[in-house]
């Protein structure tokens, strides 16, 4: 046995089909994947390749037909929905394309909710919310409703909500997919910054340019990993923007 710690996330032999009238359609056809602590893995591929299904399997939002997922060395095969929900609260932050904020709750309440659900004292939830919102650049909007914010701002709130319980793993499914160029740059810049501070991230995107902000890029086609490439660690940016963000201008 090696001394290295178990990977934060491991999948083996993942298969998942959807069942329609014309029989099963395989969205994920046998995926092995290992994500180590601190990695920023981008999974990219065309629409319909099975990226969202794969991410849902990794976060327990869907169950595989076969294969297994290990979190931090623990096999999740026997986990039921309640266990997954609890583990997601603690260990896995998830950000989706369309934010999924609760429209009837203020920005502050949206961010604090997962902390309160996880049993954090009110004071601590508030302090963590304040820290995250100011870090993500949402200041003075605590009492706004999500619908009053721009798309980029809403996605930053969704990111704060995903991070409020300090999950070791962040899963993001097309987090910039519904944003304009400016919103996309904001979100990608934040992901890169989180990664530089040690956050483990699995990002799914159909946009190969956005994928290049990861330090490892997996090409996903037709339910399978076609390629898995470690990118050179980029030289730290001098101007405060990273290479991929410049492409957007
Ligand atoms: P991606 O995120 O790469 O666009 P998806 O995982 O959403 O890919 O979809 C992969 C395949 O599975 C597609 O062919 C899609 O039509 C199909 N699919 C996805 N979700 C469902 C569903 N709920 N029911 C039936 N087919 C689905
Ligand atoms: Mg998708």
Give the distance (Å) from ligand 2 centre to CA of residue 48: 7
Residue 118 falls inside a structural domain? yes
The residue range of the domain holding 123 is 38-60+80-230
Q: Do the domain assignments include residue 105?
A: yes
Query: Is 112 domain-assigned?
Result: yes
Looking at the structure of the chain, the number of domains it has is 1
Give the neighbor-by-neighbor strand order of the sheet with 40-44: 92-95, 169-173, 200-205, 40-44, 216-221, 224-230
What ligand has the least distance to the C-alpha of 44? Answer: 1
The answer to whether position 243 is within a domain reads no
The CATH number that applies at residue 84 is 3.40.50.300
Closest CA to 15 of 63, 51, 59: 63
48 CB less than 6 Å from ligand 1?
yes
Atom of ligand 1 nearest to the CA of 19: 25
CB of residue 18 inside a 6 A radius of ligand 1: yes
Nearest residue CA, atom 23 of ligand 1?
Answer: 18
**Cα-Cα-Cα-Cα dihedral sign, residues 202, 208, 212, 216:** positive
The answer to whether residue 222 is domain-embedded is yes
The preferred substitution site among 20, 45, 47, 53 for testing ligand 1, maximizing ligand atoms within 8 Å of CB, is 53
CA distance 221 to 208: 13
Q: What is the dihedral of CA 142, 144, 146, 150, to 10 degrees?
A: -90
Strand, helix or coil for residue 94: strand
- Does 27 sit in the ligand 1 pocket, CB within 6 Å? yes
Q: Ligand 2 centre and the CA of 51: distance in Å?
A: 5
In sequence order, the 6+-apart residues with CB closer than 8 A to the CB of 72 are 6, 8, 91, 168
Distance CA 171, CA 160 (A): 13
Question: Does residue 95 belong to any structural domain of this protein?
Answer: yes
Cβ–Cβ < 8 Å for 90, 118: yes
Report the alpha-carbon distance of residue 49 to residue 45 in Å, rounded. Answer: 6
Q: Which helix (H) or strand (E) holds 129?
A: helix 122-135
Distance CA 90, CA 109 (A): 18
pLDDT by residue for the chain (249 residues), tens only, comes to 556 788 999 999 999 999 999 999 999 999 999 999 999 999 999 999 999 999 999 999 999 999 999 999 999 999 999 999 999 999 999 999 988 999 999 999 999 999 999 999 999 999 999 999 998 889 899 999 999 999 999 999 999 999 999 999 999 999 999 899 988 998 899 999 999 999 999 999 999 989 999 999 999 999 999 999 999 765 555 444 443 333 333
Q: Are 66 and 17 in contact (CB under 8 A)?
A: no
Q: Is residue 199 part of a domain?
A: yes
């Amino acid at each position: 046995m090696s001394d290295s710690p178990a990977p934060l996330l491991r999948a083996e032999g993942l298969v998942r089909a959807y069942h329609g009238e014309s029989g099963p359609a395989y969205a994920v056809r046998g995926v092995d994947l290992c994500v180590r602590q601190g990695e920023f893995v981008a999974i990219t591929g065309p629409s319909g390749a099975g990226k969202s299904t794969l991410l849902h399997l990794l976060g327990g939002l869907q169950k595989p037909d076969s294969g297994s997922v290990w979190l931090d060395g623990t096999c999740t095969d026997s986990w039921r929905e309640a266990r997954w929900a609890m583990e997601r609260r603690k260990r896995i932050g998830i950000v989706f394309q369309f934010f999924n904020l609760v429209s009837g709750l203020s920005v502050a309440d949206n961010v604090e909710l997962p902390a309160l659900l996880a049993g954090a004292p009110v004071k601590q939830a508030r302090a963590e919310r304040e820290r995250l919102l100011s870090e993500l650049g949402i200041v003075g909007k605590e009492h706004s409703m999500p619908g009053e914010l721009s798309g980029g701002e809403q996605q930053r709130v969704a990111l704060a909500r995903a991070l409020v319980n300090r999950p070791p793993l962040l899963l993001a499914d097309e987090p910039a997919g519904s944003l304009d160029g400016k919103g996309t740059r904001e979100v990608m810049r934040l992901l890169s910054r989180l990664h530089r501070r040690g956050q483990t991230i699995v990002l799914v995107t159909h946009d190969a340019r956005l994928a290049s902000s990861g330090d490892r890029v997996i090409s996903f086609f037709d339910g399978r990993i076609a390629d898995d490439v470690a990118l050179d660690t980029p030289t730290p940016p001098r101007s405060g923007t990273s290479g991929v963000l410049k492409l957007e201008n």
